[in-house]
Structure 1
Amino acid sequence: MVEDYMVIDGTRLEYRWVGEAEAEGPVLVFLHEGLGCVALWRGFPEVLCQALGLRGIVYSRAGYGRSDACALPRPPTYLHAEALEVLPRVLDRAGVQEAVLIGHSDGGSIALIHASADAAGRVKAIVTLAAHVFNEELSIQGIREAREAFETGDLRDRLEKYHGANVDCAFYGWNDTWLSAGFRDWNLEAFLPDIEVPALILQGAEDQYGTPFQVAAIVAGIGFSASSALIPDCGHAPHLEQPEVTVALIREFLQPLI
């Protein structure tokens, strides 16, 4: 496990390689959620890389973890910019020639956008965990509750352990944007028909931020190359709440491809 920083367009991003350096095959690229960072993936990247015999890279986007801060407020197109401008530079800088994108929540949405525009064919497959392609009332309700927990409960203290000085940037950069009037009509479904690589769409059956309509829309939009599963007894973080089931589903999906 190696921790380091890379500089993308003048912004320093923390990253970590996981798995065996000599492993052959595509690199698993872990894209975190709207409140996530390198550390908040916990041990899942290592476990998944070991299960598949692959190498992986985990990084924190600007404004998260130990990466540099970013300007606020974020525009409604902030996920598009991450997917189409930042992520390609991260992969170039890391020397990743073949990738499998593993995206959680916002990271899953980034994976979908990026895969739709991958003209070079670097992306070999994608796995999304609780990805969104449109805004829902359930999402808004959950995000409002998170704001209450951050401002009057202990959520800020819990997140500060992982984000440090970035804690307010990380939270409000996500929360303010998703609750903004301009984000009400946010929708990524137009990107889905351009995704041609195999895609596994996973979501917890009790996800507090999204309904199964998200999964249905993603699978319908991508078409025959997409498969899905709703994981029982699981909320918004399948990789943390049901790690064994999640690893088994991803391994079954990826093994024929690698």
Structure 2
Amino acid sequence: MPVLAHHRGELEYLVYEGDRPDLPTLVLLHEGLGSAGQWGRLPALISARTGMSTLVYSRHGYGSSAGYGPTGPDYLHSEALTVLPEVLSTLGIERPFLVGHSDGASIAAIYASEYPVAGAVLIAPHVFVEDVTLNGIRQTAESLDTKVRPSLALFHDDPDALFRKWSGVWLSDEFATFDITEQCRRIGAPLLLVQGENDQYGSVAQLDRIVGAAGGDVTRRVLPGHGHHPHLQNADEIGDLITEFIAKLEEKGWAW
């Protein structure tokens, strides 16, 4: 992948060029153990279906990007309010359409509370800390040697450091008070919320919190038979949901 210069270290990224320059750029923000390469078919699929140029990048310490992974309880805010704006500015992207998964969905929500966005799709977002999330992380840690490390090693230069930093933050006492409900109240852009019914890292209570707080139009979809990665289980289904959501905004005359 090409790399993007950044003062914290180079970031790997990839842009899928669209054929609708009149539409905003889709920007995909990966999960807590994700990377640009772990989105599967989704980036190319939604770019082709919507005509929107689509950016994916790996945050610092993820994939082959330089730097460090999560370093403290404010790491999601730092990514949303410092790093992401710098990435977008460097690439000349204004008022993006965000698609975030898990940690990436939280980053998208925080960004959208402070900066103009054309819209956002939040897949398995974390608005506050749930016991189900912490238990899911502990269970993942138990299978680090047998399942998790071999899988992460396919995409990350240093999977052990990444898992240690990420899980360490989430399981820390300092992170227990993480709550972005107030930020969600400041989001005026339309939102599509997606949650797998069998998500081992979060519940529909996260969507309920956003629905009750967000100031703009919110569409909520809970998917039976899906876990934490619905876009990997069925990329076509998630691609359809995103494409239809964007098409409806166009039909309504939403100002891009």
TM-score normalized with structure 2 length: 0.93
How many Å apart are 1:47 and its aligned residue? 0.5
Aligned-partner Cα distance in 1 for 2:63–2:249: 32
Give the secondary structure class of the aligned counterpart of 2:179.
Answer: coil
How many Å apart are 1:53 and its aligned residue? 1.2
2:174 equivalent to 1:176:
no
Give the share of equivalent positions with the same residue, in percent: 37
2:153 and 2:159 in contact (8 A); partners too: yes
Match of 1:51 among 49, 52, 62: 49
Equivalent residue for 2:100?
103
Q: Residue type of the partner of 1:98?
A: R
1:69 and 1:169 in contact (8 A); partners too: no
Equivalent residue for 1:225?
217
Match of 1:247 among 239, 243, 249: 239
Q: Residue type of the partner of 2:97?
A: V
Deviations 1:42-70 (A, max 9, x none): 22100111111111000000010010031
Unaligned runs of 5+ in 1: none
Q: Quick one: structure 1 residues 177 and 26, their matched pair in 2 at CA, closer, same or farther if it must change by over 3 Å?
A: same
Aligned-partner Cα distance in 2 for 1:215–1:232: 15
Equivalent residue for 2:81?
84
Give the secondary structure class of the aligned counterpart of 1:162.
Answer: coil
Q: Residue type of the partner of 1:145?
A: Q
Equivalent residue for 2:112?
115
How many Å apart are 1:71 and its aligned residue? 6.5
Aligned-partner Cα distance in 2 for 1:24–1:196: 21
Deviations 1:190-214 (A, max 9, x none): 1011101001111101111001100
Match of 1:126 among 120, 127, 140: 120
Aligned-partner Cα distance in 1 for 2:79–2:216: 27
Match of 2:249 among 218, 241, 257: 257
Aligned-partner Cα distance in 2 for 1:240–1:99: 23
How many Å apart are 1:21 and its aligned residue? 6.5
Give the secondary structure class of the aligned counterpart of 1:228.
Answer: strand
2:106 and 2:126 in contact (8 A); partners too: yes
2:153 equivalent to 1:160:
yes
Deviations 1:108-132 (A, max 9, x none): 00000000001xx3x1100011011
Aligned-partner Cα distance in 2 for 1:154–1:248: 31
Give the secondary structure class of the aligned counterpart of 2:126.
Answer: coil
2:69 and 2:162 in contact (8 A); partners too: no
CA RMSD of aligned residues (A): 1.5
2:66 equivalent to 1:65:
no
Unaligned runs of 5+ in 2: 251-256
Match of 2:35 among 10, 34, 37: 37
Q: Quick one: structure 1 residues 224 and 115, their matched pair in 2 at CA, closer, same or farther if it must change by over 3 Å?
A: closer
Moved more, 53-62 or 214-223: 214-223
2:26 and 2:55 in contact (8 A); partners too: yes
How many Å apart are 1:244 and its aligned residue? 2.1
Q: Residue type of the partner of 1:257?
A: L
Aligned-partner Cα distance in 2 for 1:75–1:9: 19
Aligned-partner Cα distance in 2 for 1:253–1:8: 33
Q: Residue type of the partner of 2:185?
A: P
Aligned-partner Cα distance in 1 for 2:73–2:218: 27
Deviations 1:11-53 (A, max 9, x none): 1100001133674411000000000001111221001111111
2:197 and 2:222 in contact (8 A); partners too: yes
TM-score normalized with structure 1 length: 0.93
Q: Residue type of the partner of 1:54?
A: M
Q: Residue type of the partner of 1:133?
A: V
How many Å apart are 1:255 and its aligned residue? 1.1
